[in-house]
A and B are shown apart, each in its own frame.
Chain A
Amino acid sequence: MGKVTPKSPLPIRIAALAICAGVGALLSRAVLAIPETESGLAPLVDANLEASGVKNAVTAVLLNFRGYDTLLEIAVLMLATIGVLSLSVTQKGTWDPIAAQADPVLSALARFLAPVMILVSGYLLWAGEHAPGGAFQAGSVVGAAGVLLALSGYARPAWISRFALRAAISVGFIVFIAVAIGEMIAGGLLLQYPADLAKTLMLLVETWLTVSIGAILVSLFIASASPAEELRMRSGGER
Protein backbone atom coordinates (compact mmCIF):
# COMPACT_ATOMS: atom_id res chain seq x y z
CA MET A 1 0.00 0.00 0.00
CA GLY A 2 3.00 2.27 0.47
CA LYS A 3 3.49 2.69 -3.26
CA VAL A 4 0.21 4.41 -3.98
CA THR A 5 0.64 7.43 -6.21
CA PRO A 6 -1.26 10.09 -4.32
CA LYS A 7 -2.08 12.21 -7.33
CA SER A 8 -2.38 11.92 -11.06
CA PRO A 9 0.32 13.44 -13.29
CA LEU A 10 0.16 17.19 -13.80
CA PRO A 11 -1.22 17.18 -17.39
CA ILE A 12 -4.11 14.98 -16.32
CA ARG A 13 -4.83 17.23 -13.36
CA ILE A 14 -4.81 20.33 -15.57
CA ALA A 15 -7.14 18.67 -18.07
CA ALA A 16 -9.44 17.57 -15.24
CA LEU A 17 -9.42 21.07 -13.80
CA ALA A 18 -10.39 22.50 -17.19
CA ILE A 19 -13.22 19.99 -17.60
CA CYS A 20 -14.47 20.67 -14.08
CA ALA A 21 -14.35 24.43 -14.60
CA GLY A 22 -16.41 24.03 -17.76
CA VAL A 23 -18.95 21.72 -16.12
CA GLY A 24 -19.11 24.04 -13.10
CA ALA A 25 -19.77 27.09 -15.26
CA LEU A 26 -22.54 25.30 -17.19
CA LEU A 27 -24.11 23.97 -13.99
CA SER A 28 -24.05 27.39 -12.33
CA ARG A 29 -25.70 28.93 -15.37
CA ALA A 30 -28.34 26.23 -15.33
CA VAL A 31 -29.20 26.56 -11.64
CA LEU A 32 -29.27 30.36 -11.83
CA ALA A 33 -31.59 30.18 -14.84
CA ILE A 34 -34.33 28.44 -12.81
CA PRO A 35 -37.08 31.04 -12.48
CA GLU A 36 -37.98 32.09 -8.96
CA THR A 37 -41.58 32.81 -9.72
CA GLU A 38 -42.79 29.44 -10.92
CA SER A 39 -43.68 27.04 -8.20
CA GLY A 40 -42.96 23.79 -10.01
CA LEU A 41 -45.23 20.89 -9.22
CA ALA A 42 -46.09 21.88 -5.65
CA PRO A 43 -49.59 23.21 -6.50
CA LEU A 44 -50.34 20.02 -8.41
CA VAL A 45 -49.28 17.94 -5.40
CA ASP A 46 -51.37 20.10 -3.07
CA ALA A 47 -54.41 19.81 -5.30
CA ASN A 48 -54.21 16.01 -5.40
CA LEU A 49 -53.10 15.39 -1.82
CA GLU A 50 -56.67 14.68 -0.78
CA ALA A 51 -56.92 11.80 -3.27
CA SER A 52 -53.56 10.24 -2.38
CA GLY A 53 -54.68 8.64 0.87
CA VAL A 54 -52.02 10.28 3.08
CA LYS A 55 -51.59 13.77 4.45
CA ASN A 56 -47.85 14.18 4.11
CA ALA A 57 -46.91 15.55 0.69
CA VAL A 58 -43.50 13.86 0.52
CA THR A 59 -44.99 10.45 1.34
CA ALA A 60 -47.73 11.06 -1.23
CA VAL A 61 -45.10 11.81 -3.87
CA LEU A 62 -42.92 8.84 -2.92
CA LEU A 63 -45.55 6.16 -2.62
CA ASN A 64 -48.33 7.40 -4.84
CA PHE A 65 -47.59 10.07 -7.45
CA ARG A 66 -44.06 8.82 -8.10
CA GLY A 67 -44.46 5.28 -6.77
CA TYR A 68 -42.56 4.02 -9.78
CA ASP A 69 -39.41 5.79 -8.54
CA THR A 70 -39.71 4.15 -5.16
CA LEU A 71 -40.31 0.73 -6.69
CA LEU A 72 -37.12 1.06 -8.73
CA GLU A 73 -35.31 2.48 -5.71
CA ILE A 74 -35.94 -0.60 -3.60
CA ALA A 75 -34.93 -2.68 -6.63
CA VAL A 76 -31.61 -0.79 -6.80
CA LEU A 77 -31.06 -1.35 -3.07
CA MET A 78 -31.81 -5.04 -3.40
CA LEU A 79 -29.53 -5.49 -6.41
CA ALA A 80 -26.68 -3.64 -4.68
CA THR A 81 -27.07 -5.94 -1.68
CA ILE A 82 -27.04 -9.03 -3.88
CA GLY A 83 -23.89 -7.67 -5.50
CA VAL A 84 -22.19 -6.95 -2.18
CA LEU A 85 -23.12 -10.35 -0.75
CA SER A 86 -21.81 -12.12 -3.86
CA LEU A 87 -18.54 -10.20 -3.69
CA SER A 88 -17.75 -11.04 -0.10
CA VAL A 89 -15.44 -14.00 -0.43
CA THR A 90 -16.14 -15.49 2.96
CA GLN A 91 -19.71 -16.61 3.01
CA LYS A 92 -19.83 -16.07 6.75
CA GLY A 93 -20.03 -12.33 6.23
CA THR A 94 -23.75 -12.24 6.70
CA TRP A 95 -24.21 -11.43 10.35
CA ASP A 96 -21.30 -12.26 12.53
CA PRO A 97 -20.09 -9.98 15.29
CA ILE A 98 -17.49 -7.56 14.00
CA ALA A 99 -15.90 -6.87 17.34
CA ALA A 100 -14.27 -10.04 18.63
CA GLN A 101 -14.17 -8.81 22.22
CA ALA A 102 -17.25 -6.83 23.06
CA ASP A 103 -16.99 -3.89 25.39
CA PRO A 104 -19.36 -4.71 28.30
CA VAL A 105 -20.58 -1.11 28.56
CA LEU A 106 -21.24 -0.90 24.85
CA SER A 107 -23.05 -4.21 24.74
CA ALA A 108 -25.24 -3.23 27.71
CA LEU A 109 -26.03 0.08 26.01
CA ALA A 110 -26.86 -1.72 22.77
CA ARG A 111 -29.21 -4.07 24.62
CA PHE A 112 -30.98 -1.04 26.01
CA LEU A 113 -31.00 0.98 22.79
CA ALA A 114 -31.98 -1.67 20.23
CA PRO A 115 -35.61 -2.06 21.42
CA VAL A 116 -35.96 1.72 21.68
CA MET A 117 -34.74 2.07 18.12
CA ILE A 118 -37.24 -0.51 16.89
CA LEU A 119 -39.96 1.51 18.65
CA VAL A 120 -38.74 4.76 17.07
CA SER A 121 -38.75 3.06 13.71
CA GLY A 122 -42.37 2.02 14.19
CA TYR A 123 -43.26 5.58 15.12
CA LEU A 124 -41.48 6.99 12.05
CA LEU A 125 -43.29 4.53 9.84
CA TRP A 126 -46.67 5.57 11.18
CA ALA A 127 -45.80 9.29 11.29
CA GLY A 128 -44.94 9.21 7.58
CA GLU A 129 -48.66 9.36 6.89
CA HIS A 130 -49.02 12.95 8.10
CA ALA A 131 -45.55 14.25 9.05
CA PRO A 132 -41.93 13.80 7.96
CA GLY A 133 -41.12 10.11 8.24
CA GLY A 134 -41.86 6.98 6.28
CA ALA A 135 -40.38 3.69 5.26
CA PHE A 136 -36.88 4.87 4.40
CA GLN A 137 -36.37 6.75 7.63
CA ALA A 138 -37.86 3.89 9.64
CA GLY A 139 -35.73 1.36 7.77
CA SER A 140 -32.59 3.38 8.43
CA VAL A 141 -33.28 3.28 12.17
CA VAL A 142 -33.78 -0.49 12.04
CA GLY A 143 -30.54 -0.76 10.07
CA ALA A 144 -28.74 1.38 12.63
CA ALA A 145 -30.00 -0.85 15.43
CA GLY A 146 -28.62 -3.90 13.61
CA VAL A 147 -25.27 -2.20 13.00
CA LEU A 148 -25.06 -1.20 16.65
CA LEU A 149 -25.75 -4.78 17.75
CA ALA A 150 -23.14 -6.14 15.36
CA LEU A 151 -20.56 -3.61 16.53
CA SER A 152 -21.16 -4.43 20.17
CA GLY A 153 -20.48 -8.10 19.64
CA TYR A 154 -23.88 -9.67 19.18
CA ALA A 155 -23.90 -12.44 16.61
CA ARG A 156 -26.79 -13.17 14.30
CA PRO A 157 -29.49 -14.77 16.47
CA ALA A 158 -30.19 -18.38 15.63
CA TRP A 159 -33.80 -17.69 14.70
CA ILE A 160 -32.69 -15.52 11.82
CA SER A 161 -31.43 -18.08 9.33
CA ARG A 162 -29.49 -17.07 6.24
CA PHE A 163 -32.61 -17.79 4.22
CA ALA A 164 -34.66 -15.56 6.52
CA LEU A 165 -32.18 -12.73 6.06
CA ARG A 166 -32.36 -13.06 2.28
CA ALA A 167 -36.15 -13.22 2.45
CA ALA A 168 -36.16 -10.03 4.54
CA ILE A 169 -33.91 -8.33 1.98
CA SER A 170 -36.29 -9.07 -0.87
CA VAL A 171 -39.72 -8.94 0.80
CA GLY A 172 -40.16 -5.17 0.33
CA PHE A 173 -39.66 -5.36 -3.39
CA ILE A 174 -41.84 -8.45 -3.71
CA VAL A 175 -44.75 -6.91 -1.78
CA PHE A 176 -44.40 -3.63 -3.68
CA ILE A 177 -44.49 -5.29 -7.08
CA ALA A 178 -47.31 -7.61 -5.98
CA VAL A 179 -49.39 -4.57 -4.99
CA ALA A 180 -48.52 -2.84 -8.26
CA ILE A 181 -49.55 -5.85 -10.34
CA GLY A 182 -52.62 -6.41 -8.18
CA GLU A 183 -53.78 -2.92 -9.03
CA MET A 184 -53.41 -3.70 -12.72
CA ILE A 185 -55.42 -6.91 -12.34
CA ALA A 186 -58.08 -4.96 -10.44
CA GLY A 187 -58.50 -2.80 -13.52
CA GLY A 188 -56.28 0.16 -12.77
CA LEU A 189 -52.88 1.17 -14.03
CA LEU A 190 -49.54 0.09 -12.57
CA LEU A 191 -49.30 1.66 -9.08
CA GLN A 192 -52.68 3.36 -9.42
CA TYR A 193 -54.13 2.83 -5.96
CA PRO A 194 -57.90 2.50 -5.69
CA ALA A 195 -59.05 5.57 -3.75
CA ASP A 196 -60.62 3.76 -0.80
CA LEU A 197 -57.72 1.35 -0.32
CA ALA A 198 -54.88 3.78 -0.98
CA LYS A 199 -53.91 4.33 2.62
CA THR A 200 -54.07 0.64 3.57
CA LEU A 201 -52.04 -0.45 0.58
CA MET A 202 -49.43 2.26 1.06
CA LEU A 203 -49.05 1.32 4.71
CA LEU A 204 -48.71 -2.34 3.75
CA VAL A 205 -46.01 -1.52 1.22
CA GLU A 206 -44.22 0.81 3.62
CA THR A 207 -44.22 -1.72 6.45
CA TRP A 208 -42.51 -4.37 4.35
CA LEU A 209 -40.21 -1.77 2.83
CA THR A 210 -39.09 -0.92 6.36
CA VAL A 211 -38.24 -4.57 7.05
CA SER A 212 -36.34 -4.85 3.79
CA ILE A 213 -34.43 -1.59 4.12
CA GLY A 214 -33.37 -2.48 7.64
CA ALA A 215 -32.17 -5.92 6.57
CA ILE A 216 -30.46 -4.46 3.50
CA LEU A 217 -28.57 -1.79 5.43
CA VAL A 218 -27.40 -4.29 8.06
CA SER A 219 -26.28 -6.74 5.37
CA LEU A 220 -24.47 -4.06 3.40
CA PHE A 221 -22.64 -2.89 6.50
CA ILE A 222 -21.68 -6.30 7.75
CA ALA A 223 -20.63 -7.67 4.38
CA SER A 224 -18.51 -4.56 3.81
CA ALA A 225 -17.06 -4.52 7.30
CA SER A 226 -15.92 -8.12 7.59
CA PRO A 227 -12.16 -7.98 8.12
CA ALA A 228 -10.20 -8.01 4.89
CA GLU A 229 -7.28 -10.00 6.25
CA GLU A 230 -9.53 -13.02 6.61
CA LEU A 231 -9.82 -13.08 2.87
CA ARG A 232 -7.26 -15.03 0.92
CA MET A 233 -4.53 -12.57 -0.05
CA ARG A 234 -2.72 -13.17 -3.27
CA SER A 235 0.86 -12.55 -2.28
CA GLY A 236 3.89 -11.83 -4.43
CA GLY A 237 1.87 -10.05 -7.11
CA GLU A 238 4.29 -7.16 -7.22
CA ARG A 239 4.16 -5.30 -10.46
Chain B
Amino acid sequence: MSQTDLYTLAGSTLFVIGLYGLMTRPHLLHKVLALNISSAGVFFVLVGIARRIPGTTPDPLPHAMVLTGIVVTVSSTAFALALAKRIFTETGTAALDASDVDVEEDAGG
Protein backbone atom coordinates (compact mmCIF):
# COMPACT_ATOMS: atom_id res chain seq x y z
CA MET B 1 0.00 0.00 0.00
CA SER B 2 1.47 3.28 -1.08
CA GLN B 3 1.31 6.62 0.70
CA THR B 4 -1.29 7.85 -1.77
CA ASP B 5 -3.51 4.85 -1.05
CA LEU B 6 -3.32 5.61 2.64
CA TYR B 7 -4.41 9.20 2.08
CA THR B 8 -7.19 8.40 -0.35
CA LEU B 9 -8.54 5.56 1.80
CA ALA B 10 -8.47 7.78 4.87
CA GLY B 11 -10.30 10.44 2.84
CA SER B 12 -12.97 7.96 1.74
CA THR B 13 -13.41 6.84 5.34
CA LEU B 14 -13.82 10.44 6.53
CA PHE B 15 -16.37 11.04 3.79
CA VAL B 16 -18.39 8.01 4.87
CA ILE B 17 -18.21 8.96 8.57
CA GLY B 18 -19.61 12.37 7.66
CA LEU B 19 -22.30 10.76 5.53
CA TYR B 20 -23.37 8.53 8.42
CA GLY B 21 -23.55 11.49 10.78
CA LEU B 22 -25.57 13.46 8.24
CA MET B 23 -28.10 10.65 7.97
CA THR B 24 -28.47 9.71 11.64
CA ARG B 25 -27.99 12.87 13.69
CA PRO B 26 -31.22 14.84 14.08
CA HIS B 27 -29.57 17.97 15.44
CA LEU B 28 -28.91 20.46 12.67
CA LEU B 29 -25.58 21.53 14.15
CA HIS B 30 -24.45 17.90 14.05
CA LYS B 31 -25.53 17.69 10.43
CA VAL B 32 -23.50 20.79 9.53
CA LEU B 33 -20.46 19.32 11.30
CA ALA B 34 -20.99 16.00 9.51
CA LEU B 35 -21.07 17.81 6.16
CA ASN B 36 -17.77 19.47 7.05
CA ILE B 37 -16.20 16.13 7.94
CA SER B 38 -17.35 14.78 4.59
CA SER B 39 -15.82 17.67 2.71
CA ALA B 40 -12.57 17.24 4.64
CA GLY B 41 -12.59 13.67 3.33
CA VAL B 42 -13.00 14.89 -0.24
CA PHE B 43 -10.08 17.32 0.19
CA PHE B 44 -7.97 14.53 1.62
CA VAL B 45 -8.61 12.38 -1.44
CA LEU B 46 -7.81 15.26 -3.81
CA VAL B 47 -4.61 16.25 -2.02
CA GLY B 48 -3.58 12.58 -1.95
CA ILE B 49 -4.20 12.19 -5.66
CA ALA B 50 -2.11 15.27 -6.42
CA ARG B 51 0.97 13.53 -4.99
CA ARG B 52 0.37 10.15 -6.63
CA ILE B 53 3.74 9.87 -8.35
CA PRO B 54 6.58 10.04 -5.85
CA GLY B 55 9.38 12.44 -6.68
CA THR B 56 7.44 14.67 -9.07
CA THR B 57 5.92 18.06 -8.36
CA PRO B 58 2.33 17.74 -7.16
CA ASP B 59 -0.40 18.10 -9.76
CA PRO B 60 -1.67 21.70 -9.43
CA LEU B 61 -5.16 20.88 -10.70
CA PRO B 62 -6.41 18.96 -7.64
CA HIS B 63 -4.84 21.65 -5.46
CA ALA B 64 -6.86 24.31 -7.25
CA MET B 65 -9.96 22.16 -6.84
CA VAL B 66 -9.35 21.85 -3.09
CA LEU B 67 -8.96 25.61 -2.84
CA THR B 68 -12.28 26.05 -4.62
CA GLY B 69 -13.82 23.38 -2.44
CA ILE B 70 -12.75 25.01 0.80
CA VAL B 71 -14.40 28.25 -0.23
CA VAL B 72 -17.61 26.51 -1.23
CA THR B 73 -17.60 24.59 2.07
CA VAL B 74 -17.15 27.80 4.04
CA SER B 75 -20.04 29.48 2.29
CA SER B 76 -22.36 26.49 2.48
CA THR B 77 -21.54 26.06 6.18
CA ALA B 78 -22.31 29.70 6.85
CA PHE B 79 -25.58 29.47 4.96
CA ALA B 80 -26.54 26.23 6.72
CA LEU B 81 -25.78 27.79 10.11
CA ALA B 82 -27.89 30.83 9.24
CA LEU B 83 -30.77 28.53 8.25
CA ALA B 84 -30.37 26.49 11.44
CA LYS B 85 -30.38 29.65 13.53
CA ARG B 86 -33.50 30.87 11.81
CA ILE B 87 -35.18 27.50 12.42
CA PHE B 88 -34.20 27.78 16.09
CA THR B 89 -35.67 31.28 16.24
CA GLU B 90 -38.91 30.20 14.65
CA THR B 91 -39.49 26.87 16.36
CA GLY B 92 -37.39 26.96 19.52
CA THR B 93 -35.43 23.87 18.55
CA ALA B 94 -32.54 23.28 16.21
CA ALA B 95 -33.14 19.55 15.84
CA LEU B 96 -35.27 17.59 13.48
CA ASP B 97 -37.24 15.22 15.68
CA ALA B 98 -36.28 11.76 14.49
CA SER B 99 -39.44 10.22 15.90
CA ASP B 100 -41.99 12.24 13.96
CA VAL B 101 -41.02 11.59 10.37
CA ASP B 102 -44.66 10.61 9.71
CA VAL B 103 -46.28 13.83 10.90
CA GLU B 104 -44.52 16.36 8.71
CA GLU B 105 -47.72 18.41 8.40
CA ASP B 106 -47.60 20.07 11.81
CA ALA B 107 -43.86 20.11 12.25
CA GLY B 108 -43.93 23.90 12.15
CA GLY B 109 -46.05 24.28 15.30
Contacts and interface: CB of A to CB of B under 8 A. Distances in A.
Given A36-B53, A224-B82, A31 B8 contact: yes
Contact of A8 (B26, B49, B76): B26
B75 A23 contact: no
Contacts of A5: 26, 95, 97-99
Most chain A C-beta atoms within 10 Å of own C-beta, residue among B27, B62, B82, B91: B82
A224 B12 contact: no
Nearest to B27: A4
Contact of B64 (A12, A32, A58): A58
Contacts of A28: 9, 12
Given A61-B61, A77-B75, A220-B75, A31 B12 contact: yes
Q: Give the interface size class of chain B.
A: 35 or more
A57 B64 CA distance: 9
Interface string B52-88: 1100111111111101101110111011011101101
Interface of A: 1, 3-9, 12-13, 16-17, 19-21, 23-24, 27-28, 31-32, 34, 36-37, 39-42, 45, 57-58, 60-62, 66, 69-70, 73, 76-77, 79-81, 83-84, 87-89, 134, 136, 213, 216-217, 220-221, 223-224, 228, 231-235, 237, 239
Interface of B: 2, 4-5, 8-9, 11-13, 15-17, 19-20, 23-27, 45, 48-49, 52-53, 56-65, 67-68, 70-72, 74-76, 78-79, 81-83, 85-86, 88-95, 97-99, 106-107, 109
